Structure 1
Amino acid sequence: MFENSENKNITIYGETVKPGEDKWIKIPIDRLPTGTMIDIPIYVFNAGKPGPTLLVQGGLHGDEINGVEIIRRMLFEGCYKIKSGAVIVLPLLNIFGFIHFSRQVPDGKDVNRSFPGVKNGSLAARIAYQVTYEVLPQVDFGIDLHTGGGQRNNHPQIRYTSGMPESKTLAEVFNAPFYFATSLISKSFRKAAHNRKIPIIVYEGGESMRFDEYAIREGIQGILNVMKYAGMIHTIDPMWIEREGSTLLTSHKWLRSPTAGMFVPQVLNGSSMKKGAILGFVTDTFATYCKEIKAPYNGFVFCINNQAVVNQGDALFHVGK
């Protein structure tokens, strides 16, 4: 995948990082109502030896904090001190959502539905514009870090782009517990990268506004696996133990609530399931009914909704085989 990689300067927002240099770059986006300027912080680690350029991005959705912690921890531990190539790190893209405990920016728009962006558009469009035109031109491949939305907890998993072999290879190398192909969403970051023929894998682990140590450690392990595969590092700290292999899911579906009530799961996230097994149930507060949620086939549960009170049609389990 990286045969033609060359040593190069990386230029973002008018600042150049030469081979052998590390630099912290800030892209100004907007001000808070108090007048405080908000910048997108970008770390660039450009090794002296030639190699590919990796993008590691967190906080595209402001309330998905596990990715932010994955990147912070790797920065603190010096994990991006690479031997070859370059790593561009966006620890927290949607700062406005982060400080408002929100998936979106303050006007309600989703940055991940705003690509490729507009230079003088809405706040979400302007953030997307800077990533599309300042960051993506420098990148050969990338890892986008996410969690489940709301109170849906995603067991660590990688999503890759259908029909893009490079993306699938990266998913296999990352070696999360599960990986599967998903279609591209209009105006998403991954679609914008795909239009530039840049393979992006999406890591999902945990749920919004809640640290999940297992998901954080799996995310760090996966990023290190990819960096080693790309020749950026030679060894991985032995505390990160490699598993035998990731499980490819060739089909998946959501199991939804048949009625409103209280949802009580009966299985652990990430566990296997047998067709017909009871995964959980939805009941009312007066014990007048109890609707069982059963496994549709032999497979795995890789997302569970932690919301205790649900409405009819709410997604309860994401399952695959």
Structure 2
Amino acid sequence: MRNKTIEVLGKAISEGKGLQINLDIAKLHTRTKIEVPVIIERAKESGPTILITGGIHGDEINGVEIVRQLVAKGYHKPQKGMVICIPVVNIFGFLNQTRQFPDGRDLNRVFPGSKRGSLASIFAYHLMKEIVPLADYCLDFHTGGADRFNAPQIRINEGDEESLELAKSFGTSFIMQSKRREKSYRDSAIKLGKKVLLFEGGKSLDIDKTITKVGITGALNLMHHLGIRDFSKELASKAKVSEPIIVASSKWIRANHSGMFRSNAILGRFYKKGDKIGSISDPFGFFEKDVKAPVKGYVFCINKAPIVNKGDAVIHMSVEK
């Protein structure tokens, strides 16, 4: 029997209705209530529910921008099922433009949380208890941390064929089959039986138009594929992505010297072992050392930091067998 009314955070959402509610389980030390807007649109016709999130890390602004545009352009209004959007999950970090929660913890390392743990853990607990169980599919938008700029990619649980097909429908050039990180949002949602796609693109504290465009188009592709809404008209003018590159293994290239780093690598390009992909020099003009590809593969992340220390990760490559 169809459920005519769904209750979210104590609010009833009837078929064909939309609602914005606030997840407000925490306060600042000034006793100021911090509210996390949860934007819900439900169709008259039954269908799957997708939860779309951004800003689990407060400084990953590009993910916030993607979800914001989905709402601003009305793409979150379904013809079947329900769409739940949380543009900024970690509103605390977003306010301060930092990755962490005010308690210094990384929200994406404390799931599924606990009722009486740290501030981040309490928040994770309520998200997993009140919101995630409603979803069938989760689409989570991230960027590279610090100065690491990621090529647009979807990360999925390795060995999950259904998620692989969903990732292909999204339409990024790269699909990363990565192991689940314990206590992450993705790991906890998968344990609840949800299908989770994690998008990575761009870097923190930055909004890149190309990354935003890929993220929005991918979300429309996915919702179209799931039958949530017909986006044929919106997608008609979009360029089709060729067969995606599936990355099962990857390697970080680390700086052999401290100094000024210049990358010659181009995101998405294939390099052979021994190809020059960057250089590191001192600031005085006495030495300059090449950074060479230690394996053959595709470059899908570049550290944009101009200054690096020995051992810093500078370029991330796939490992092609």
Asked if Structure 1 and Structure 2 have the same fold, meaning a TM-score greater than 0.5 normalized by the shorter chain, the answer is yes
Alignment of 1:151-166 (within 5 A): 151-166=147-162
CA distance in 1 between partners of 2:83 and 2:231 (Å): 17
Amino acid paired to 2:240? E
Q: SS state of the match for residue 313, structure 1?
A: coil
CA distance in 2 between partners of 1:6 and 1:166 (Å): 26
In the other structure, the counterpart of 1:76 is 72
In the other structure, the counterpart of 1:284 is 282
Asked if 1:140 is matched to 2:136, the reply is yes
CA distance in 2 between partners of 1:6 and 1:179 (Å): 36
CA distance in 1 between partners of 2:237 and 2:102 (Å): 40
Alignment of 1:1-321 (within 5 A): 9-236=5-232, 237=234, 238-320=236-318, 321=320
Q: Residue 8 of structure 1 contacts residue 50 of structure 1 at CA under 8 Å; is this kept in 2?
A: no
Amino acid paired to 2:58? G
CA distance in 1 between partners of 2:84 and 2:33 (Å): 22
User: How many Å apart are 1:121 and its aligned residue?
Assistant: 2.2
Deviations 1:256-303 (A, max 9, x none): 101111111012222222221100011111233222211233321110
Amino acid paired to 2:147? Q
User: How many Å apart are 1:6 and its aligned residue?
Assistant: 6.3
Amino acid paired to 1:119? K
Q: Residue 7 of structure 1 contacts residue 49 of structure 1 at CA under 8 Å; is this kept in 2?
A: no
User: How many Å apart are 1:11 and its aligned residue?
Assistant: 2.2
User: How many Å apart are 1:239 and its aligned residue?
Assistant: 4.3
CA distance in 2 between partners of 1:39 and 1:317 (Å): 38
Q: Residue 59 of structure 2 contacts residue 94 of structure 2 at CA under 8 Å; is this kept in 1?
A: yes
**Which blocks of at least 5 consecutive residues in structure 2 are unaligned?**
none
Q: SS state of the match for residue 317, structure 2?
A: strand
Q: Residue 29 of structure 1 contacts residue 40 of structure 1 at CA under 8 Å; is this kept in 2?
A: no
User: How many Å apart are 1:7 and its aligned residue?
Assistant: 6.1
Deviations 1:111-156 (A, max 9, x none): 1011111123211111101111011111111111000001000011
**Which blocks of at least 5 consecutive residues in structure 1 are unaligned?**
none
Q: Residue 263 of structure 1 contacts residue 283 of structure 1 at CA under 8 Å; is this kept in 2?
A: yes
CA distance in 2 between partners of 1:226 and 1:8 (Å): 25
Instruction: Describe the shift of the 1:7–1:160 C-alpha distance in structure 2 as closer, same or farther (beyond 3 A).
Output: farther
Q: Residue 264 of structure 1 contacts residue 280 of structure 1 at CA under 8 Å; is this kept in 2?
A: yes
CA distance in 2 between partners of 1:261 and 1:275 (Å): 23
Amino acid paired to 1:316? V
Q: Residue 178 of structure 2 contacts residue 248 of structure 2 at CA under 8 Å; is this kept in 1?
A: no
Deviations 1:23-69 (A, max 9, x none): 11111122234432101210111111111111100000000011110
User: How many Å apart are 1:241 and its aligned residue?
Assistant: 2.7
Q: Residue 143 of structure 1 contacts residue 203 of structure 1 at CA under 8 Å; is this kept in 2?
A: yes
CA RMSD of aligned residues (A): 1.6
Deviations 1:66-113 (A, max 9, x none): 111001111111001211011111110000000111000112101101
CA distance in 1 between partners of 2:27 and 2:132 (Å): 24
Deviations 1:152-211 (A, max 9, x none): 000111100012222222111111121111111111101111111111111001000011
Instruction: Describe the shift of the 1:23–1:246 C-alpha distance in structure 2 as closer, same or farther (beyond 3 A).
Output: same
Identity of aligned residues (%): 40
